[in-house]
A and B are shown apart, each in its own frame.
Chain A
Amino acid sequence: MTPDPLLIVKDLKVYFDTDQGMAKAVDGVSFRVGQGETVCLVGESGCGKTVSALSILGLLPQPPAQIAGGKVFFKGRDLLELEQKDLREVRGREISMVFQEPMTSLNPVFTIGHQIEEVITTHEGVDQIESRQRIIRLLNDVGIASPEERMQDYPHNLSGGQRQRVMIAMALACSPELIIADEPTTALDVTIQAQILNLFKELQEDRGMAILQITHDLSVVAGVADRIYVMYAGIMVEEGSVWQIFREPCHPYTMGLLESLPGRRAKGQDLATIPGAVPDPANKPPGCPFHPRCRYVQESCRVQFPEMCDFSDRHLARCPIMYAKRKVQSA
């Protein structure tokens, strides 16, 4: 069962011109999101998840950013080719975004009710009474108590997690077909997180809303993802279903990630980490970008950029070394 892809990102490249050289923050990333699907994008801090998401929606200022290549098809149209005006139409009506840092996208001088109302009224002609009811319902849905009161608050009156939930309410206000959520539940405790994830699920079932969720929280990923994409240093290193990734990770980076989970270590014992650090995007090593940290590294990894290898049904990983190993094992 493969739902019709709503969003297809093909070989996206986003570079930054910096004093230290060209930072290839995103360097050839491809993925798809089908209608009603939840796709999770995971990967080490700084690997290019936010930059990918923002460039899909034309939200990265250019310069300093430059889209160095690729296509982003949404319902057949290439978003990278659209005029700003048309793109604005798409954003907020068909696709909406939950930003990683709420304070950067909430306006400090307007009440939160006002900001949600703006989303509702710019896209639909609804009257004040109806829009007020919608705001109250949205805030209630994201677990904000006393919404009638709280809609009159300014962002600085809210806690970190409350701001994050207001952002989610804003993103849902226009009933989007696709929501791109960048770490939407990081500031939330488990009970409210559960409420938000259930809300997303309902909207998927009722309206076929698709979700592209960027998160490092593997408990969330395990619970919601239909499909997982793993990024490392600006490229996709593995993709597969939630079972394939959690039960049979193929890329050494993905394996390291799963081994670093706390809860597998006793107190007072060091947590497992992947030794070394993510390369600077302006200064990536040749060959496989993970090779300086990889325990399976071979000579060829240092010189040759690895191909995506087909491990099993729609389970791909960019590691010929592991591919050869698994082949031998299964033979």
Chain B
Amino acid sequence: MQKFDAFTGNLAVATAMKQINPDVCAAYPITPSTEIMMIFADFVSNGEVNTELVTVESEHSAMSACIGASLAGGRVMTATSSAGLAYMWELLSVASGLRCPIVMTCVNRALSAPLNIHCDHSDAMGARDTGWIQIFSENAQEAYDNVIQAIRIAEHKDVKLPVMVCVDGFIISHSYEKMQYMEDKEVRDFVGEFKPYKSLLNVEKPETFGAMVLPNYYMEFKRQVREGMERARQVILEVGEEFSQRFGRYYSNFENYMLDDADFVFVVMNSAAGTVKHVVKNLREKGIKAGVLKPRVFRPFPFKEIADTLKNSKIICVLDRAETFGAEGGPLYLEIKSALQTIESNPTVINRIFGLGQRDFLPYHVENVFKEMRNYLDSGNIKMFDYVNLRD
């Protein structure tokens, strides 16, 4: 039986963690993710979970402790943001390389300098190539559902990789919204019991973890990580399908919002997708064929399915909430451009950087970009790269 209540994004994630009841959480506080662990620490103190909560002295130590606990055979979860994720960076590829199915929520926040505690995706995008599966969440509901599914994805025998569930700082993490949640037992049945692939604490069969590998084997182990990532494509769909059947909320690789005959397409992740969908709905009411593609899974990037969905559109605007400084465009734009190389048709793709450090991104900003796109179909002129709501 599911119930409705008011949740912030952080409360939604902490609630999912309580229901999952992991063996170990090692964490260090950083805004805006701090509250997840604060709420979770209450659950630990009140005996609502059996989790060993390890309060460490930095994010570098947090991820190190998570890796140790995971290798010891535990189900491990944590959360972080921005500089915290950056400080974990060294350990991110250790976690994937040692095949630790850790589930971490990344409450997206801008990177310094200048210091800014508000939302953008530069933290998660910096970690996109570290061998972590990355799943993005538009709202509290998706964050809750994604964290629960992430356990099944990470621990699947064909995957064995860490998963980062991304959710927008403040916009979602600190805003209350209506959310549907399951009973503890339903969640525990869905995630099942954790069976570690190997365990450091298995004294019957001592094994060595984290040994050095010379040039004659290193590439083979990285190839294995790619294999886990490739297998995850199918596993993510299967877990999403099972979740939909049990709990009635549908999850795939990406959300297709009014895309089927769309000439004008916006590609956007996380909370801003709600704003864009609102504008697109209004455009549809005026008879304009617009649509939104909201990637849910950024790693492994569903390039084939996305290219297939976008092939008949006329112009695509990719909205990036992160900079790449020196590349042709933002990280999502680069993925979409390269995905479209796999098909024959060649829609025009433009890139707009928005919302850095949580700069306002409002419906009229989307409408302005749409006007540029419509004008392009008549005139053939448009800026390929630009910013939204930047004082020029």
* B partners with A: no
Chain A interface residues (CB < 8 Å from chain B): none
